[in-house]
Amino acid sequence: MEGNGTFPFFSQFSSDPGSSAAGFNLSSAAGFYGCSSCSMLAMLFIQENSRAGCAGTMEGEADIDECELRDEQPALRDQYRCYGICKNTIGGYDCQCKFGTKGDAKTGTCTQLFPLPAMVATLGIIGLTSIVVVVVLFKLLFDERRKTKEFFIKNGGPVLEKVDNIKIFKKEELKPIIQSCNVIGKGGFGEVYKGLIDDKLVAIKKSINVDKLQEKQFTNEIIIQSKVIHKNIIKLIGCCLEVDVPMLVYEFVPRGSLHDILHGNRKESLPLQKRLNIAAGAAEGLAYMHSKTSTTILHGDIKPGNILLDENFDPKISDFGISRLIAIDKTHTKCVIGDMCYMDPIYLQSGLLTKQSDVYSFGVVLLELLTRQKASSGEDTRLVTTFLDAYTEDHKGAIDLFDREILLEGDTEVFNNLAILVVDCLKFEVERRPEMTDVEERLQTMKRSYVPKSISDASSSIDT
């Protein structure tokens, strides 16, 4: 054997000197070496040709696609048997059973995984289940639409859809906003959500529940608010009546409530000028409700939590929750509802809600704004009682209860006027309390005439 992997013997009988055994003549070789060597020569010839064939395959001969041959030459199907799905592989092919069967596809022994009766039964069950699901879904959809219509009628939809300045929202319009991630306020009343409607920020108030009396007066509240258009009263944009408890959509007021600014997480510095602006604006809003609308509107629940502040600290009165309990032409209610800390004691005793009831509540709010102390109905910390007792004994003692932040930059005349106004609003005798128009005028006068002193000047005046 030579270095090129061929036997020199075969080259002697080759018709082509370049090949190792291409033209090998077995008879000639036998004659040359004798018959006893025939079998050995044959074996050597076969081995030599095998090496040549392997070398050719390794050097890149194309692989045969048996699956394609079966399709092109049906006569070869017996040679490349497949009774399933034929897949070509390198140096051969694979045959798999069809979907839903198992076995050996090359021998044709694939059998059904599921017998025909079982398949028919399964398909029947699936079909029946689908029909039941569709029927149930249609029924749920029908019931939902029926409930939506019932809620709409119960909440006064036929009346409110005729009211100007109020938009009636579909439930689907508000659904993207009524999500836990959008909650900006939460309490016993329910939740408030912040979101965008028509590219405008809004606040949606969703109450937890409502009693029968409130339910009957809901339409009245919406009608009342639709008539109130004032810069110091929050604007009601619309409502959704397609739910059990109606949802109200208001303009969004960014700084939150006065309560948050005074006592909450949003606590901020409040110079006297800002406090006068807040007090005068809230008084103007209440005066408008009492005297400048076609029908007197009583709020019934004036407190810091219901006075919202915009980016300029301008106040907006919100939450007409008590107004809904009072018919437009009446001032009495059997249900005394409101925050006890700010409630008129006469209203608490008699159930008689008047304009002076709102005046009393405003007096408590004004006192809380000036002292930055929470009004409390507890025995130990009654802000109103403490202030009135101090004022009776010594006017200056009452003024000393004011927040030191404003005492450092104010003057005695303004503080005296504010103390007198608080006392007037908190008078027990209802007839001696001022009208809100008078309260507004006095506060506006103080706001216009007030000129802040420097801190050093104010400190010296306090010391003296």
The 3 state secondary structure assigned to 396-418 is HHHHCCCCHHHHCCCCHHHHHHH
Relative orientation angle of helices 272-291 and 436-449, to the nearest 10 degrees? 150
302 with 286: CB under 8 angstroms?
yes
State the chain's mean pLDDT as an integer.
Answer: 80
Of 301, 319, 344, 358, the active-site residue reads 301
Whole-prediction pTM value? 0.66
pLDDT band at 378 (very low <50, low <70, confident <90, very high): low
- Round to whole Å and give the CA distance between 383 and 195: 37
Please check the confidence at residue 40 and state whether its pLDDT lies above 70: no
pLDDT at 45: 47
pLDDT at 1: 46
Please check the confidence at residue 276 and state whether its pLDDT lies above 70: yes
Please check the confidence at residue 453 and state whether its pLDDT lies above 60: yes
pLDDT at 14: 44
SS3 190: strand
| Phi, psi angles (nearest 5°) of residue 240 | -115, 120
**Closest-CA residue to 375 (of 268, 386, 286, 356):** 386
pLDDT at 338: 58
User: Which of 240-244, 258-262, 294-298, 384-388 is predicted least confidently?
Assistant: 294-298
As a residue count, the chain comes to: 464
Measured between alpha carbons, how far is residue 254 from residues 198, 236, 261, 350, 393 in Å? Answer: 18, 16, 12, 38, 41
CATH of domain 255-464: 1.10.510.10
pLDDT at 325: 40
**Known catalytic membership, residue 301:** yes
Please check the confidence at residue 393 and state whether its pLDDT lies above 70: yes
78-124 pLDDT, tens digit each: 888 999 999 999 888 999 998 878 889 898 889 887 777 777 888 88
Domain boundaries, the chain: 8-58, 66-112, 155-252, 255-464
- Round to whole Å and give the CA distance between 273 and 261: 15
pLDDT band at 214 (very low <50, low <70, confident <90, very high): low
Burial class (CB in 10 A: 0-12, 13-18, 19+), 7: middle
pLDDT band at 62 (very low <50, low <70, confident <90, very high): confident
pLDDT band at 454 (very low <50, low <70, confident <90, very high): low
Domain pair 155-252 / 255-464, same fold: no
pLDDT band at 370 (very low <50, low <70, confident <90, very high): very high
pLDDT at 30: 44
Give Cβ neighbours of residue 273 (< 8 Å, ≥ 6 apart).
447, 450, 452
Q: Residues 103-140, buried b or exposed e (16+ Cβ, 10 A)?
A: eebbeeebeeeeeeeeeeeeeeeeeeeeeeeeeeeeee
Tokens of 427: 């008078």
pLDDT at 56: 42
307-355 pLDDT, tens digit each: 999 999 999 998 865 453 443 344 445 444 556 789 899 988 888 889 9
% pLDDT > 90, the chain:
42
8 or 263, greater pLDDT? 263
Please check the confidence at residue 293 and state whether its pLDDT lies above 50: yes
> Hey, what amino acid is at 339?
D
- Establish how many alpha carbons lie within 13 A of residue 389's alpha carbon, considering only the half-sphere containing its beta carbon: 5
- Round to whole Å and give the CA distance between 326 and 334: 10
- Round to whole Å and give the CA distance between 286 and 443: 13
User: Which of 1-5, 66-70, 247-251, 265-269 is predicted least confidently?
Assistant: 1-5
Tokens of 152: 């709409």
370 with 275: CB under 8 angstroms?
yes
Please check the confidence at residue 262 and state whether its pLDDT lies above 70: yes
pLDDT at 377: 59
Give Cβ neighbours of residue 458 (< 8 Å, ≥ 6 apart).
407, 408, 409, 410, 411
Q: Homologous superfamily of 155-252 in CATH?
A: Phosphorylase Kinase; domain 1 (3.30.200.20)
